[in-house]
Structure 1
Amino acid sequence: MFDAPRTTEHRDGDDLLTAGLGLAGLRAMAPPAFADAAQPTPAELRRRALWANWRGIADLAPGGGYGELYGSAANVPGREFSALAKVDGAKQPHRVLVQVPDAFDAKKRCVVVTASSGSRGIYGAIAVAGAWGLPRGCAVAYTDKGAGTDYFDLDAGQGVRADGSVGARGEGLAFEPAATASATSGVAFKHAHSQDNPEADWGRHVKQAAQFALVSLDRAFPQAAPFTFDNTRVIAVGISNGGGAVLRAAEEKDDWLDAVVAGEPNVYTSAEGSRALYDYTTEAALLMPCALLHKQGLPQPPIAAQVAPLWTQRCAALKAAGLIEGDDTAAQARSAYEALKAHGWTDESLQAGALSVGFDLWRAVAVTYASAYGRYGFGEMPCGNRYSALGTDFLPRAATAAERAAWWSDASGIPPGAGVHLVDADPTAPLKSLQCLRGLWTGDDADAQRVHRGVDETRAALPRKGLPVVVIHGTDDGLIPPAFSSAPYVRQAQTAGRDVRYWQVRNAQHFDAFLGLPDYGARYLPLLPYVYAALDRVDAHLDTGAALPSDAVIATQPRGPGTALQAAHLAMPR
């Protein structure tokens, strides 16, 4: 079940949580340097991956409260056990990794299992699960859930080995795309090109990571073996896609999981009001740039004066395509806004969604997920999109050795980023590509049917009876609106008598990491403190039978400009 096993030790200037960087090093604006940019060592790659993943998830900015009001970047020495795992029927493996602190509590025998948020690599949940579990003496098990940063360079014929270094086909790579006549140039990555639709197996990925934790603990502490699900506590936690993954793990019928905490989960159910990520992402990619011209006081960035001309062009293009109405920009923006509101978008989610528009995230997500849901290989993607490094002329080119070497540590798992770009079939006609992607949801041709089948495979079921589940979601989430995801999931589960509790956090959006931007920090609160608090509560419940959290709408107080975060702003429920 587990291939390419590795064990590494992390002590004496290195550690499990920060690779020796500490909070100050994580806050550094520049990543840890490689001695040789083209051939970084596995230790250098790991340190840089930890730096990148901490900064991609947590608000580490001074005044943001991390390490003071909540959270930990403590020096935790210990060992890491890693491997490649594969669920039945999969073409490609997913990574699993277990961090075992030297101070592991052998009496409590605790494992925290998690899945990376977004499409991040194996350390993608370090700030969520590692920061809570490791200082408490728990082992922490991770999975990249079949996505991650194991990119493959088709020009060079090279990908990523188990230790993060670059190697050729047949050298123990974590992802090797199928070789086809059309797959000769560009960059392939696992989420888009594995042909596995990994989201369909998120729950099984999480369970395999927990199983690997038991195997690793047997190796780490043979005198205390065997570690089993019967004698070891397992708590699952994740945010965003990781939150959806742990909710899918909650469906598993065996009594292997003791509690679940899911933050801002991407979860799709059969409940009324639930919408598939692909549905609302493609809708937002098309309409939101125009619709936001109808809104006042949007958070910055994006800078309104810079994006208004582009958004005005989008309004005109949408009108010409017959997708909205209106004789001028104001009327067209109102038409797009009203269309989104009619489909369940709230003003809060639209306002926070400006960030995803500014970073072109909707398009990036839509292209990747269309390929994943349809199980397309590289060179087969619908709508003519592909991925490549770009030259100064913005034309595709081969990647350099230094670019290739940093993909595993630096990338987020969905291009663009880390020097890999999303290339449209016709860059001069962006609306054509977006309409094609939207048509894969609204249409009925063969490609649309493939995508719909893939989406149907991701539909979540009810959690196991008696399993404590806490769901936490920001009411202002502009990437995964709770109205489409957590709210219908919780309603369905509670109606069926499942033990699901729901915290709705006012003035919280999706990305804690962007709270370092002054306008976002002034308007919004971080979600991570509530995830940690929910973990505290379920852990106490399992320890002593203490009461689980009650449903709550948490009335937070934005801190305003130039003000450090205080406990009173969080209004943490008691």
Structure 2
Amino acid sequence: MKMPLHMSLTALAATALLASCATTPSRDRAMDDASAFQPIRATTHRGTDDLLTAGLGLEGLRAMSPPAFADAVAPTPGELRRRAIWSNWRGIADLAPGGGYADVYGTVEPVPGREYQALATVPGATHPHRVLVQVPDNFDRQRRCVVVAPASGSRGVLGGIAVAGPWALPKGCAVAYTDKGAGTDYFDLDAGQGVQLDGTIGGADAALAFRPHPATGSGVAVKHSHSGDNPEADWGRHVEQAARFAMHALGEAFPDAQPFRPDNTTVIAVGISNGGGAVLRAAELEGDWLDAVVAAAPNVQVDGARPLYDYTTEAALLMPCALPVLGIPPMPTVPAHCAALSEAGLVSGQTLEAQQQSAYETLRAGGWTDAALRAGSISVGFDLWRAVAVTYASAYGRFGPEDHPCGFHFAVQGADGTPRAATAAERAAWAAEGSGIPPGAGVGIIAAEGDLARPLAGLQCLRTMWEGDSAEARRVREGIAAARATSPRTGAPVTVIHGLDDGLIPAAFTSAPYVSAARAAGADVRYWQVRNAQHFDAFLGLPAYGAHYLPLLPYVYEALDRTWAHLQEGAPMPGDAVIETVPRGAGAALERRHLAMPR
């Protein structure tokens, strides 16, 4: 058992230690013990500052510029919260005119209420994850409900707000969020400063949400990469602790209605991407505390299937060279990239066209579909494959900020790409603007010396963490194995939703093998496969993407509706479906008929 070393306040360390000694609660055990969640920060959000959009409404969320800070160097907690809500909505949902949000599906109507946030630490971890509960004023005491929404990707604690908030809050359900041990708690190694519970920046004497050990060196430490805890292995427990915190927050909000427990409060877990993987991992846990799960495009790995790190590092190497075979215009660097692959023996062929065909055939042999490759092209353009591989290699191997096995680190970059120290204004915005995985919010990926002269060196090194036999590679693979999912416990219904064009987390590597394994183990699982849907609803504002692809969020809300009817009224759960959607085409607005929602 390890004492949480990141905390400088004695009381906070003591309460976190109590959390590490806790056991998984059963349905007949109270889940409102405040000792595991300290300090607790409570705020009220009414009038022009509601729970769902912080008063921004649809037009404010659509604005191209983020909500302003009165003082860029010292934004207030309220300003940081508003900008974080803006960032997280825009990172997950298609809010563009014609995209259908708040018209065909979803809502941004104001929901007044209160928020409770804290830090929680799972057993064995040295750093906490954030938990935050939104309690609407219209909370339904007669049909008590909590929806747990872990963040998508590596986002901050509000990273699931667009997934759960629009469905749950107007219904009178509380929503519990967690950043799953990742998030936007960046630490400036040069200045010795990090992020506090309220999002503001604090120094060495502050009770920070993340401080790496050791907190030395230069650049930026990121919690997902550098906590040393391999947070993915604990995703399910993060979700369970968020549910526990919700019970405590509801007791604080409505003391006359206590106690709040799973035996008198419905608990549903819902998530997309990494959040989807987290809720599936929560379904494995013992104890009758969880009533149902909805997981969309889940990043989940089971025995016999390809894990994220394997297919990500493969895509980083081969996809730029392979895409022209599908008619996708090549980037200017493709000829040199393909030639370097050939020189390394990773593709065959003497001509550029032959090398491209070789890369394409290798990906297809590994399970990639043409649809996934087409959608994956946007991840090539945004350098997302490398970003994921760099972050996860550190997380799985539990490496520190300056110990990356391939020499990568994170830092703010100057105009010429060279690392420099962060300014106070840049640092102040990290909590609201970061995605949890650089590049972004001014923080970039700095490659090892010499990699610029050898463009494949870093990518090949990342790949050897999967294929090689070095001590570092074994550490990375041990971390991957620790994050492997098992089948959900029997009883709670599980709905898995996946776009068949997903190019970041292909269904063939994740949802399909998970559903097969879960059913073989006797779990209650149904599977919706959505044609013409890829991973990023937020990219549907791009005309070419919006014309061809459908959003995934409407199916999440529909699955929640069906699940709620089942839990509250005994309605049957839906069956499996391969959903034959209709692309809306160029210049057309989304209509309900395009979604072809299963009945």
Q: CA deviation at 1:420?
A: 0.3
Q: CA deviation at 1:395?
A: 1.2
Report Cα offsets for 1:404-456 as digits up to 9, x if no partner: 00011001110000100001002332300000000000011101100010000
- Tell me the equivalent position of 1:387: 410
- Tell me the equivalent position of 1:437: 462
Q: CA deviation at 1:3?
A: 1.8
Q: CA deviation at 1:188?
A: 0.3
Aligned counterparts of 1:255 and 1:241: Cα–Cα separation in 2: 23
Which of 285, 293, 296 is residue 260 of structure 1 equivalent to? 293
- Cα RMSD of the aligned pairs, angstroms, is 0.8
Which of 39, 42, 66 is residue 4 of structure 1 equivalent to? 39
Letter of the 1:295 counterpart: L
Which secondary structure state, in structure 1, belongs to the residue aligned with residue 39 of structure 2? Answer: strand
- Tell me the equivalent position of 1:367: 390
Report Cα offsets for 1:503-553 as digits up to 9, x if no partner: 000000000000000000001000000000000000000011101010000
Q: CA deviation at 1:150?
A: 0.4
1:227 to 2:260 alignment: yes
Which of 533, 536, 544 is residue 519 of structure 1 equivalent to? 544
Between the aligned residues of both structures, percent identity stands at: 68
Report Cα offsets for 1:49-82 as digits up to 9, x if no partner: 0000000000000000000010111100000000
User: Aligned ranges for residues 357-506 of structure 1 at < 5 Å?
Assistant: 357-425=380-448, 426-506=451-531
Unaligned 5+ runs, structure 1? 299-303
Which of 180, 190, 208 is residue 223 of structure 2 equivalent to? 190
Aligned counterparts of 2:355 and 2:50: Cα–Cα separation in 1: 54
User: Aligned ranges for residues 38-53 of structure 1 at < 5 Å?
Assistant: 38-53=73-88
Q: CA deviation at 1:295?
A: 1.1
Would you say how many aligned residue pairs link Structure 1 and Structure 2? 562
Aligned counterparts of 1:428 and 1:141: Cα–Cα separation in 2: 47
Aligned counterparts of 2:417 and 2:589: Cα–Cα separation in 1: 41
- Tell me the equivalent position of 1:211: 244
Letter of the 1:155 counterpart: D
Which secondary structure state, in structure 1, belongs to the residue aligned with residue 358 of structure 2? Answer: helix
Aligned residues of 1:424 and 1:430 also touching (Cα < 8 A): no
Aligned counterparts of 1:392 and 1:276: Cα–Cα separation in 2: 36
Letter of the 1:287 counterpart: L
Report Cα offsets for 1:106-158 as digits up to 9, x if no partner: 11010000100100001100000111110110000000000000000011110
Unaligned 5+ runs, structure 2? 1-35
Aligned residues of 1:293 and 1:308 also touching (Cα < 8 A): no
Aligned counterparts of 1:101 and 1:199: Cα–Cα separation in 2: 30
Aligned residues of 1:81 and 1:97 also touching (Cα < 8 A): yes
User: Aligned ranges for residues 67-466 of structure 1 at < 5 Å?
Assistant: 67-179=102-214, 183-270=216-303, 272=304, 274-296=305-327, 298=328, 304=329, 307-425=330-448, 426-466=451-491
Which secondary structure state, in structure 2, belongs to the residue aligned with residue 382 of structure 1? Answer: coil
Q: CA deviation at 1:287?
A: 0.4
Letter of the 2:296 counterpart: G
Aligned counterparts of 1:418 and 1:308: Cα–Cα separation in 2: 25
Which secondary structure state, in structure 1, belongs to the residue aligned with residue 331 of structure 2? Answer: helix
Q: CA deviation at 1:277?
A: 0.3
- Tell me the equivalent position of 1:548: 573
Q: CA deviation at 1:494?
A: 1.3
Aligned counterparts of 2:312 and 2:116: Cα–Cα separation in 1: 36
Aligned residues of 1:169 and 1:176 also touching (Cα < 8 A): no
Bigger mean CA deviation after superposition, 425-434 or 102-111: 425-434
Which secondary structure state, in structure 1, belongs to the residue aligned with residue 456 of structure 2? Answer: helix
Letter of the 1:478 counterpart: G
Report Cα offsets for 1:256-288 as digits up to 9, x if no partner: 000000000000001x4x111000000000000
Aligned counterparts of 2:254 and 2:350: Cα–Cα separation in 1: 72
Aligned counterparts of 1:340 and 1:265: Cα–Cα separation in 2: 21
Which of 41, 56, 70 is residue 91 of structure 2 equivalent to? 56
Q: CA deviation at 1:94?
A: 0.2
Q: CA deviation at 1:184?
A: 1.7
Aligned counterparts of 1:72 and 1:531: Cα–Cα separation in 2: 14
Aligned counterparts of 1:562 and 1:4: Cα–Cα separation in 2: 50
Which secondary structure state, in structure 2, belongs to the residue aligned with residue 79 of structure 1? Answer: strand
Which secondary structure state, in structure 2, belongs to the residue aligned with residue 213 of structure 1? Answer: helix
Aligned counterparts of 1:265 and 1:508: Cα–Cα separation in 2: 14
1:532 to 2:554 alignment: no
Which secondary structure state, in structure 1, belongs to the residue aligned with residue 244 of structure 2? Answer: helix
Aligned counterparts of 2:45 and 2:593: Cα–Cα separation in 1: 37
Aligned residues of 1:293 and 1:311 also touching (Cα < 8 A): no
Q: CA deviation at 1:496?
A: 2.0
Aligned counterparts of 2:496 and 2:453: Cα–Cα separation in 1: 43
Aligned counterparts of 2:151 and 2:75: Cα–Cα separation in 1: 24
1:570 to 2:595 alignment: yes
Aligned residues of 1:504 and 1:553 also touching (Cα < 8 A): yes
Q: CA deviation at 1:170?
A: 3.0
Aligned counterparts of 1:392 and 1:207: Cα–Cα separation in 2: 43
Aligned counterparts of 1:352 and 1:510: Cα–Cα separation in 2: 8
Report Cα offsets for 1:310-345 as digits up to 9, x if no partner: 122111110011110011111000000000000100
Aligned counterparts of 1:239 and 1:77: Cα–Cα separation in 2: 25
Aligned counterparts of 2:197 and 2:453: Cα–Cα separation in 1: 39
Letter of the 1:248 counterpart: R
Q: CA deviation at 1:352?
A: 0.3
Report Cα offsets for 1:370-391 as digits up to 9, x if no partner: 0000001111111000001111
Which of 40, 59, 63 is residue 28 of structure 1 equivalent to? 63
Aligned counterparts of 2:229 and 2:559: Cα–Cα separation in 1: 33
Letter of the 1:441 counterpart: W
Instruction: Report the TM-score when normalising by structure 2.
Output: 0.93
Instruction: Report the TM-score when normalising by structure 1.
Output: 0.97
Which secondary structure state, in structure 1, belongs to the residue aligned with residue 233 of structure 2? Answer: helix
Which secondary structure state, in structure 2, belongs to the residue aligned with residue 136 of structure 1? Answer: coil
Which secondary structure state, in structure 2, belongs to the residue aligned with residue 334 of structure 1? Answer: helix
Aligned counterparts of 2:299 and 2:320: Cα–Cα separation in 1: 22
Aligned counterparts of 1:32 and 1:218: Cα–Cα separation in 2: 33
Report Cα offsets for 1:80-116 as digits up to 9, x if no partner: 0000000011010000000000000011010000100
Aligned counterparts of 1:195 and 1:201: Cα–Cα separation in 2: 12
Q: CA deviation at 1:169?
A: 2.2
Q: CA deviation at 1:308?
A: 3.1
